[in-house]
């Protein structure tokens, strides 16, 4: 697995430091608000698990699973594979994503969920790739701004592989070919 990685972009130590900082920030901003964290599977799973352990206020969590039809349609349609179990009306919602790329997925989700009248919706992402943004959406909390390269590890995959790498790495180009 490691031989497919060209370069470590973000080390385990750096990730730990930045995730802890975002956790503290969210804890300050959401004191007494009992937020609900909504993780977007599968990419969020490691980030969300680490983030939650740095959140010191009462909160609940739930998960959604979506697939986007990137490349096959221009509508930016997103398919909901697993919806929320919890009622979010009146709740302060924090969407947790691995990476904000074109923004199409999160933009769709934000609109989709806002119909259920949550008190607020914010976005927390591990990484932000602003260079590729298509939708009008930004991250309220972001651990790292990354360049326009395909990254894997710490939950992120290429063809479902590499999610278990403990750091964020850039894949060798020959892996795609």
User: Residue of minimal CB distance from Mg ion?
Assistant: 43
Return the structure tokens found at 12: 């385990």
100, 109, 126, 168: which one contacts ligand IMP (CB under 6 A)? 100
What Cα–Cα distance (Å) separates residue 46 from each residue in 43, 50, 69, 155, 173? 8, 6, 24, 6, 25
**3-class DSSP state for residue 174?**
helix
Nearer to Mg ion, 42 or 122 (CB): 42
| Contact status: 43 vs Mg ion (CB under 5 A) | yes
Nearer to ligand IMP, 8 or 57 (CB): 8
| Contact status: 103 vs Mg ion (CB under 5 A) | no
- Name which of ligand IMP, Mg ion, none residue 102 binds, using a CB cut-off of 5 to 8 Å depending on partner kind: ligand IMP
Give the dihedral sign, CA 48/143/20/117: negative
| Residue with token string 């031989």 | 3
Q: Is 101 a catalytic residue?
A: yes
Q: Which residues are catalytic?
A: 101
């Amino acid at each position: 697995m490691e031989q497919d990685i060209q370069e470590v972009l973000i080390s385990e130590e750096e990730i730990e430091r930045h995730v802890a900082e975002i956790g503290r920030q969210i804890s300050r901003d959401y004191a007494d608000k009992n937020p609900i964290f909504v993780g977007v599977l599968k990419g969020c799973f490691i980030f969300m698990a680490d983030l939650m352990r740095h959140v010191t206020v009462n909160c609940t969590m739930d998960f959604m699973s979506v697939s986007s039809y990137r490349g096959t349609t221009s509508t930016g349609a997103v398919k909901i594979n697993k919806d929320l179990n919890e009622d979010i009306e009146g709740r302060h919602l924090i969407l947790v994503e691995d990476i904000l790329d074109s923004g199409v997925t999160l933009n769709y989700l934000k609109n989709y969920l806002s119909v259920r009248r949550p008190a607020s919706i914010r976005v927390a992402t591990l990484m932000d790739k602003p260079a590729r943004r298509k939708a009008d959406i930004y991250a309220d909390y972001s651990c790292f701004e990354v360049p326009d390269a395909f990254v894997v590890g710490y939950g992120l995959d290429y063809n479902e592989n590499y999610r278990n790498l403990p750091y964020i790495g850039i894949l060798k180009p020959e892996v795609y070919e």
